[in-house]
Amino acid sequence: MEDFLKIGLEYTIKLDKENKLPTTWSMILGNETFGTVVTQNLGGFTWHDNSRLNRLSAWNNNPVSDLPSETIYLKDYKTGKKWSLSDNINNEANESYITYGLGSVKFKSIQNNISQELDIFVPRKDNIKINILKLKNLEPNKRNLKLIYYIKPVLR
């Protein structure tokens, strides 16, 4: 992976109040039998075998609004504040970074004094989407958070 970084095949997009993308930016992560589309708002959709016929989560064909069919929500029990790792869902325009690389997408941001890092990838041989979420409390007080992984499944 280090050689990949050195030759510049990874790029980072900074999003904030002044820097918004004009339309949906996405990347396909997949192997021979499984895949997912990841947008700057986390969720495109996920499929098995055939992206048109075997969707596991819903596909929203709207490049302007980009409502995710998969996302992560957090809630602080003490303050009652709720937020998502998706910039499109949050009302606050915080600075965030999205790094698109060889086989992975990484999200970094700070919301409500919680540093959030999310790595998303699909292994070469397994039919699974992996999300590795790292949270760090930036306040001196202990926090009690609730984490929800939301998916809008396609039911047949």
Tens of pLDDT, residues 52-64: 899 999 988 776 7
Q: What whole-number percentage of the chain has pLDDT above 70?
A: 89
pLDDT digits (tens, 9 = 90+) for 23-42: 778 899 999 999 999 988 88
pLDDT of residue 2: 46
The domains of the chain, with CATH numbers, are 2-151 (2.70.98.40)
pLDDT of residue 74: 93
Q: Is 148 left (phi over 0), alpha (psi -120 to 50) or beta?
A: beta
Q: How confident is the model at residue 67 (pLDDT cuts 50, 70, 90)?
A: confident
Look up the pTM and report it.
0.88
Contact 14, 101 (CB under 8 A): no
pLDDT digits (tens, 9 = 90+) for 92-147: 667 889 999 989 999 999 999 999 999 999 999 999 999 999 999 999 999 999 99
Contact 114, 143 (CB under 8 A): yes
